[in-house]
Amino acid sequence: MTRIVEIPTSFDDRAMDHYAAAFGGWPAGERLLFDARGTTWVSPYGFVAMLTAAQAVAEARGERPILYLPASEDVRRYWARAGFLRHAAELFEVHGKVPRAPSGSSDTLLEVTPVRGSDDVHDVVGRVQEGASRILLEVGLEAKATIGFTMALSEACQNIVEHAGTTGWVAVQAYDWRRRLGTRVVVIAVSDSGIGFRRSLEPTQARRFGDRWSDATALEAAWIQNVSRFRDPGRGQGLAGIKRYLGRWDGKITIRSGTARLANVPAWDREDVPMTEQLPFFPGAQVQVILPALAPK
Amino acid sequence: MIQTIRLGHLLREAVTTPYRNLVTRPTGAAVRGRIERALAESGCRTALLDFSDVDLLDLSCADEIVAKLLLVSAPCPDRYVVLWGLRDDQVEAIDHVLSHQHLAVAALAAEAAVLDVLGAVDGDARAAFGCVAERGPVSAGAVAEALAWAEARARAALDLLAARRLVRVAGGAFHPLLVA
């Protein structure tokens, strides 16, 4: 039996719950077929979420999922440019014409990149610093914001290494949100198929919350109280640093783990809510950071 | 005696990266281990940690290097740590992690002429530190006069700075930490 996971036509964080619901349950009992033939656009968040699902299947020793590539050649080329297809080939049985990977688009600050250990974090930070400073300044970020952005990226990637217990993925892209927000934005998407916030914090925090312990309370404990699974008092500062940075530059973060999603909602976003529970389960943790280039109108 | 330790140099020894970024906890721990070994071998009382050839310093690495170095050197009353050549973003990262752990360190930022204190110190201690840094060796009475305080208040602030090894006490005066 094969279970079809239809990739949303436009796959970004807002389509994530629809995508997560398509899996039914975890671990998947059937072979999965990711059908992206009708997909026309995927954000960094969508790319890393697809790889995360396939990674979770591989770790559960499930059968290699099938991926039907988008029907549109332009979309396939974009997928190649974004670095997604190179990594998809390792995790999926790919069906469809795979274009040769041209060099990254001018708005790609960081192609889809695996994060397996601290060396990868060094590489990610170095590459973004090296190649992206110019783009970030073009986008309109101040130099100081660019430094903070790289620091936030480093801390977000380290969460995979320190807490997930498995491989994760990161991608960074700049977008023109003039119609939506009146400015350009830079988006970091980080995802892993690891143990998630609840299991990571359970040994040290669950007793404190008692019956209230859940994916949502685990996210709150990490984000609001800066708790960590480590007893070292210096821990838990990565998210605190990201929070401070986003507060200063009017950025937004969403963290989805298991069945809950936390968001710090800046004034420019009137649609989102701070906490959503009872979502369709998805493995690991997915983090998205959105940074407006200029103060949104 | 002062030992200058170039963190960029230690970073190149610790990791095989072409970049000059102090990021990740394992990197911070590796660099701190090298700092501790260097200090143990030299026997110098003041360690000047030179950040001038470092690009990015993230919070995790700042915690592993600076906060943990202060914690492990806490039992050595004659060991002083001064940070040197810091950029604004590095100052901010170190100040954040030290405040979180109620620690403090003396630092000279890249463009600054006098030492500043980063981390968790109260207003009196910060003002007294500034007075010592600007005036050189001073008595509690001189600090009290400069800040228009009672001498007991000045002495309490200076004793706190000395206990946290942010100033040095010698010959009845409070000395700024040496950077050269």
pLDDT in tens, A211-253: 999 999 999 999 998 888 887 887 878 888 899 889 988 999 9
Across the interface, which of A121, A158, A241 has its CB nearest the CB of B96? Answer: A241
Count CA atoms closer than 13 A to B91's CA, side-chain side: 17
Contact B21 A129 (CB under 8 A): yes
Over residues A74-83, mean pLDDT: 94
Tokens representing A61 are 């020793």
Contact B59 A151 (CB under 8 A): yes
Q: What residues have CB less than 8 Å from A141, skipping those under 6 apart? A: A149, A186, A291, A293
For position A282, what pLDDT does the model report?
A: 97
For position A296, what pLDDT does the model report?
A: 47
Contact A237 B60 (CB under 8 A): yes
pLDDT in tens, B134-178: 998 999 999 999 999 999 999 999 999 999 999 999 998 999 998
For position A233, what pLDDT does the model report?
A: 80
Across the interface, which of A129, A148, A162 has its CB nearest the CB of B55? Answer: A129
Q: How far does the CA of residue B64 sit from the closest CA of chain A (Å)?
A: 8
CA distance A160 to A287: 10
Q: What residues have CB less than 8 Å from A62, skipping those under 6 apart? A: A27, A28, A31, A32
Q: What angle do CA B105, B106, B107 make, to 5 degrees?
A: 115
pLDDT in tens, A152-195: 999 999 988 887 778 899 999 888 887 778 888 889 999 999 99
Tokens representing B106 are 């003396």
Element (H, E) at A74: helix A73-81
pTM, to two decimals: 0.90
CA distance A172 to A139: 13
Chosen for mutation from B58, B63, B92 (greatest number of chain A CBs closer than 10 Å) is B58
For position A164, what pLDDT does the model report?
A: 74
Across the interface, which of A118, A150, A238 has its CB nearest the CB of B26? Answer: A118
B128, with CB counted inside 10 A (0-12, 13-18, 19+), is buried
Tokens representing A82 are 């974004």
Closest by CA to B23, choosing from A188, A173, A284, A117, is A117
Q: Tell me, yes or no, if B16 comes closer than 8 A to chain A by beta carbon.
A: yes
CA distance A178 to B125: 49
Q: What angle do CA A122, A127, A130 make, to 5 degrees?
A: 120
Question: Within the 89-148 window of chain A, which residues sit less than 8 Å (CB to CB) from chain B?
Answer: 118-119, 121-123, 125-126, 129-130, 144, 147-148
Amino acid at B113: A
Is there a contact between A116 and A96 (Cβ–Cβ < 8 Å)? no
Chosen for mutation from A115, A116, A118, A227 (greatest number of chain B CBs closer than 10 Å) is A118
Q: Tell me, yes or no, if B23 comes closer than 8 A to chain A by beta carbon.
A: yes
Work out the number of other CB atoms within 10 angstroms of the CB of residue B127: 16
Q: Tell me, yes or no, if B143 comes closer than 8 A to chain A by beta carbon.
A: no
Confidence of residue A104 (pLDDT cuts 50, 70, 90): low
CA distance A134 to B121: 38
**Cα B20 vs. chain centroid, distance in angstroms?**
21
Q: Tell me, yes or no, if B101 comes closer than 8 A to chain A by beta carbon.
A: yes
Closest by CA to A43, choosing from A8, A87, A67, is A8
Q: What residues have CB less than 8 Å from A264, skipping those under 6 apart? A: A223, A243, A246, A247, A252, A253, A274
CA distance B56 to B41: 28
Across the interface, which of A121, A130, A237 has its CB nearest the CB of B23? Answer: A121
Question: Within the 244-273 window of chain A, which residues sit less than 8 Å (CB to CB) from chain B?
Answer: 244
| ipTM score for this prediction | 0.84
Residue reference for tokens 């100040």: B95
For position A105, what pLDDT does the model report?
A: 57
Q: Tell me, yes or no, if A234 comes closer than 8 A to chain B by beta carbon.
A: yes
